[in-house]
Amino acid sequence: MSVTPRTIGGDPVYPIGLGCMNITHAYGPPMDEGNALKLLGRALDLGCNFLDTATIYGAGRSEELVGKAISERRGDVFLASKCVLSFKDGKRILDARPESIKKACDASLKRLGVDMIDLYYMHRPDPNVPIEESVGALSELVDAGKIRMIGLSEMGAGLLRRAHAVHPIAAMQSEYSLWVRNPEIAVMDACRELGTTLVAFSPVGRGFLADPPADPARFHESDMRGMAFPRFSAENYPGNLSLLDEARACAKEAGCSVAQLALAWTLAKGEHVIPIPGTTSLAHLEENHRAGAVSLTPDMVARLDAHFSPEKAVGPRYSPPGQASVDTEQYEFEKAGA
């Protein structure tokens, strides 16, 4: 399977990375260590060389597992992690003060068992700290040799430009899929202009575009989809299911699965876009990896664009507290419904 790499800050990576949140929390119970290491090892064996984790994933446990998986293979991996968003006394907090960012980086390096992180993101904006101060601290970490590149997550074009004026921003991570089109409002174009890679998280719609649950009411009690994402609620979810009919038809024409179609669609949106689906399944990992070789015609991309136009999604992508924690642009109809 011949696939052309994409780049982050000039470094080549396989066009589809691996988001490492699922292995420790979010969509059900955490994986046991043996299975998690097997999954991560298989990703590396396949040539998936972009692993994306964060301080908050499993309260540091994801970083520990990734660190174990790459301990003998550091040279095979483009390693990303995130700071600012974490837990304190069991509560989720935002802390982008320069001293906190530096302390968080040292803790991440220790958990990962590495001397340097390739890409270190601010996981969320902190409304109490100017972005310039936070990026200034990250640039000092670059100078100290603790990180190589700086990234942002869930921020809009305005904050990206302010941050980039302090230090080049290698990547912007945003939710982007057929089901969530908000980056198309402004940040995708800003990334293209500034040479910033758009790292698309949840590119298969938190499972909606892969194995859609028949009844979200049966989610495991630890599954965030039952709490934080209104599109999976009992009142909204049935209205979204009809969107899948066209996706299934297009997937059949393209000779791929719906999940592969969703990933191929993100890749078709620009050479600067890299999706990072997460999974706990070896079969899904391999299926997602093969999507790097799936090519969609411009006509099919346009057809999917029209069918999944933003206003057709039923329900907001975040609960009100979740939306308040991000700086991503919203469509006017979303603002009106808030």
Exposed, middle or buried, 51 (CB in 10 Å: 0-12/13-18/19+)?
A: buried
Which letter does DSSP use for residue 13 in this model?
E
Beta strands 85-88 and 91-94, pairing class? antiparallel
Residues 6+ apart with CB under 8 A from 276: 16, 17, 18, 19, 50, 52, 173, 199, 200, 201, 203
Structure tokens at 225: 């989809």
Instruction: Determine which one of 57, 120, 121, 237 is catalytic.
Output: 57
Q: What are phi and psi of 182, to 5 degrees?
A: -55, -35
Token reading at 149: 């590149």
Q: Rounded to whole angstroms, how far apart are CA atoms 184 and 240?
A: 21
User: Which of 164, 203, 162 lies closest to 181, judged by CA?
Assistant: 203
Q: Are 170 and 9 in contact (CB under 8 A)?
A: yes
Residue 219, burial from CB neighbour count under 10 angstroms (0-12, 13-18, 19+): middle
121 included as an active-site residue: no
Cα distances from 309 to residues 26, 197, 297, 300, 306, in angstroms, run 27, 23, 18, 14, 5
Q: Which positions are catalytic?
A: 57
